[in-house]
Each structure stands twice: as C-alpha cells, then as structure tokens.
Amino acid sequence: MSLKSTLFAAVAAAALAMPAFAGDIMVHDPYARASTKMSTSGAAFMVLMNHSAEDDRLVSASSDVAQRVELHTHMEDANGVMKMMEVEEGFPVPAGGEHALARGGDHVMFLGLNQPFNQGDLISVTLTFEKAGDVVVEIPVDLERKPMHGGQMKHQHGTPSAGD
C-alpha cells in the first residue's frame, strides 16, 4: 500500500466513524412574528436544510420567550376552514434536501409569550433534531415580512373567534 492510499483509508475510516454534526443542519432565512403587539402567541418560519446523507427530523423546539413551543401545521377541515394543529411526529428533513416552514403551512408556534415580539428582537430557539441533536438559532423578529404567496391565511390562535 502506498502512503497515499494508506492516508486515504485512514481518512475514510475516520469519516465513517463520525457522528452526525449539528452542522449538517442549516437553518436558512429564519424569522419570527406575532400578529399584533397584544398577541399572546407568535410563530417562526425558516427553511431547514439537511446537508448530511441521512434523513433527519425536527422533533421539538424550545425557547425562553414562551411558555410552550410546539410544531404546528395548517390543515383544511371538512368545511374548508384552515386550522392549526400540533404535529407530534415533527417535520422530516430528507438527506440532502430541505423542509420549508412558511406562512399558511408548517411553523414553530410560541404559546404564551413571556414578552411581546418587537421588530428587530432576536429570539433564541433551540431546535431538536432526531439525528443532529440540538441546533440553537437566533431568530430575528420581522413583523413587516409579507407571506411568500400573496394570499395571507387567517391565523387565529387559542381563542376561537366568531365569523372570522
């Protein structure tokens, strides 16, 4: 065996033995918002990218800014009304792929805000992945961001509202 191929074998063995790094997960363009200054809940949106060769999954999120942090999605009920619900199994992020959390779809939900979300605030959120483990992201509050696809969904949390 030449020196070169010995080195190559050693590097390959080391690479195989390595666990998934949190660095394999990239969080792209995160932002958080609340509907109004009086809101007791808020949400965060971002694109999760998985640069590893293994499928991963966002299983939970936590933060000091709210009493509870949940993974939510929107579903249309039998009457065609969009409702939010918790996604207990979390959001899959395929190997080499991505999963977008966006307005009107999947999101990280903050319930019972400990402080109002002010424009420009940075919110520290820990995202826990099945394989990559904990990834801490600093998410800027952006109250001015428009939804990507024009039509904004009515997004009512907690209190059922009549005729909304």
How far does Cα 31 stand from its chain's mean position? 10
72 vs 103, beta carbon nearer Cu ion: 72
* Three-state secondary-structure class, residue 94: coil
How far does Cα 57 stand from its chain's mean position? 10
61 vs 137, beta carbon nearer Cu ion: 61
Measured in degrees and rounded to the nearest 5, phi and psi for residue 14 equal -65, -40
56 vs 70, beta carbon nearer Cu ion: 70
* Three-state secondary-structure class, residue 127: strand
Which residues have a Cβ under 8 Å from the Cβ of 20 and sit 6 or more positions away?
52, 54, 56, 131, 132, 133
Q: Is 103 in the site for Cu ion (CB under 5 A)?
A: no
Q: How many residues bind Cu ion (CB under 5 A)?
A: 3
Shortest distance (Å) from residue 84 CB to Cu ion? 4
72 vs 131, beta carbon nearer Cu ion: 72
x/- map, 63-102, Cu ion, by CB under 5 A: ---------x-----------x------------------
- Residue 28's identity, in one-letter code, is H
Q: Is 109 in the site for Cu ion (CB under 5 A)?
A: yes
65 vs 84, beta carbon nearer Cu ion: 84
CA–CA gap between residue 147 and residue 43 (Å, rounded) = 13
Judged by CB under 5 A, the stretch of 12-20, 45-53, 57-65, 106-114 that binds Cu ion is 106-114
* DSSP code, position 143: S
Q: Which residues bind Cu ion (CB under 5 A)?
A: 72, 84, 109
